[in-house]
Amino acid sequence: MILNYIKIAWKVLLRHPFYTFITLFGISLTLTVLMVLTSFLDHVLGSHYPETNRNRSLYITRLEQRDTTHQGRNMGPMSFNFLKTYAKSLKTPERVGIATIFGFANTYINGKRIKLNTKYTDADFWRVTDFKFLDGKPFTEQNINNGDHVVVITDDLRKQYFEDDGASAIGKYIDIESINYRVIGVVQGSPVTRPYTYGDVYFPYTAPKSNYQDKAMRGGFLAIVLAKDEHDLPAIRDEYASTVGKIPLPQTDNGFTFHEMKTEANPYLDDFAGVFLDGARTTIVYSIIIFLMLMLMGLPAINLVNVNVSRIMERASEIGVRKAFGAPAKALLWQFIIENIFITFIGGFFALLLTFLIITLINNSGWIAYADLTINFPVFAASIAVCLVFGLLSGVLPALRMSKLKIVDALKS
C-alpha cells in the first residue's frame, strides 16, 4: 500500500514541475539551514577532538564569591593552588587535568610577528584530553619538576615558525617573549570553538608568567575532571561539592571579604550554558534550540501548506471517485501524509547534499581554525527527525481537509 502511495506521489511530482520545484526548493533550503545549524551545535557541544571524553568529563571553570549583602560579587577562573587543593584531591575521578583558559604572547621569525594563543597545563591535561601527537610527546611531571623550558606546539605554528621545511621540529628552539623553549611535541590543533583546549603553544604550568604560585582562590586556571565511567559523574559532583563546602567562611581573598562561595563541577553543556544562564541550564538551552527549530520549520511549513492545498485541490475529482468507490477518509488522509513525507525526504536528500557542500566550504575556508563540522550519525538522525516533523507539519492540514471533502463537492471540482 505504501509503495502505491509513493508511486502516486512520484507521478504527481512529474505532472507539475513548477509546483515541484517550489516545494522542493522551500523544503531543501529550510532543512539545509537546520542541518548546518545542527552540525554547528554538534561541533560546539559534542564530544569531538581533542575533547572526545566529554561524555565522562566534568568541567570546573568558575568560582563565584559574594558578600552577605550580594552587593559585591567576584567570579571567574580559579588559581592553580585552589584546584590542586580541592579538585586534584578528589578520590572518585580517574584523573584531573589543569590548564589555563588561554593567554596571549608574540614570537618573531625573520622579522615577522606571530601572535600566539598560549596555554599552561599540567601533565594530566594530556591524559584527560585526546590530542593527536604528529611528532614528539607531551611534557611529563619530570619536565615540570625540573622546570624545563619545553613546549608543545600545533602543526600550524610549526608551519609558520619553522616554515615547514619538512624536517622534524622536535629538539628545535622557539623564542617566545625573549625565552627559548625546546619543542618536544607537535599536535594537531584544537578548534577555537573549544576554548578549554584551544591554543597555539602549550607550556608546563611552571613556565614563567603562569602565576601558578598565586595563593589566592581566584586565578586563570580551570580543571577537566575525567571519570572512570560516566555513571560516576554524579558521585564526583557530590564529592567536589562536599570538599569545597568544608572551606570555612567568611574569608578574605585579594582584599575582598566574602561570605558565600559557589563552584560546581558540571558537564560541558551545563558549564557552557552557565556563562549566560542560571537554574536548569540544560533544559533552558534545549528549549531555546527546539523553539528556534520550530520557528525555522513553522514559517516555511505555513507556505507549503498553501502550496499543498493548491496541489491537492487539483486532485479533487480523483478524491471524489475514490470516495464514491468506498475509500475511507482515513485511507485518503494517510495517502496524502505519506506522499508529503516522501516529497519532504526528496527535499531532505538535496538538503543533505547542500549541507555537505556548505560545511566542506566552512571547514576549508579557515573561518574557524581547525573546524571539523561533520554530518555524523547524531546530525543525520536529527535531520531525519526534522524531515519527519517538517513533512507532518506541512502535510497534515491539507490532507485532513481533503480527506473530509464531500463526494459531491469533490466531483463538482
User: CA 124 from chain center: how many Å?
Assistant: 24
Longest dimension (CA), the chain: 93
Q: What is the pLDDT of residues 341-380, one digit of tens each?
A: 788 788 888 888 998 999 999 888 877 778 888 887 776 7
For residue 413, the model assigns a pLDDT of 58
All three cell numbers of 230, joined, read: 560516566
Measured between alpha carbons, how far is 345 from 352 in angstroms, rounded to an integer? Answer: 10
* Best CA proximity match to 117, nearest among 190, 187, 198: 198
Q: Which residues contact 131 (CB under 8 A, 6 or more apart)?
A: 50, 138, 187, 188, 190, 197
pLDDT in tens, 240-283: 999 999 998 888 877 778 888 889 999 998 888 877 666 556 67
> Which DSSP string corresponds to 283-350?
HHHHHHHHHHHHHHHHHHHHHHHHHHHHHHHTTHHHHHHHHHTT--HHHHHHHHHHHHHHHHHHHHHH
> Above 70 in pLDDT, residue 402?
no
Domains of the chain, residue spans: 1-48+284-411, 69-258
Q: Name the strand (E) or helix (H) holding 113.
A: strand 112-121
pLDDT of 303 above 70: no
CB atoms within 10 A of CB 2: 10
Q: What does pTM read for this prediction?
A: 0.80
Give ∠ CA 176-213-75 in degrees, rounded to 5.
Answer: 95
Cell of 216: 589566592
Give the pLDDT score at 387: 65
In this prediction, residue 330 carries a pLDDT of 77
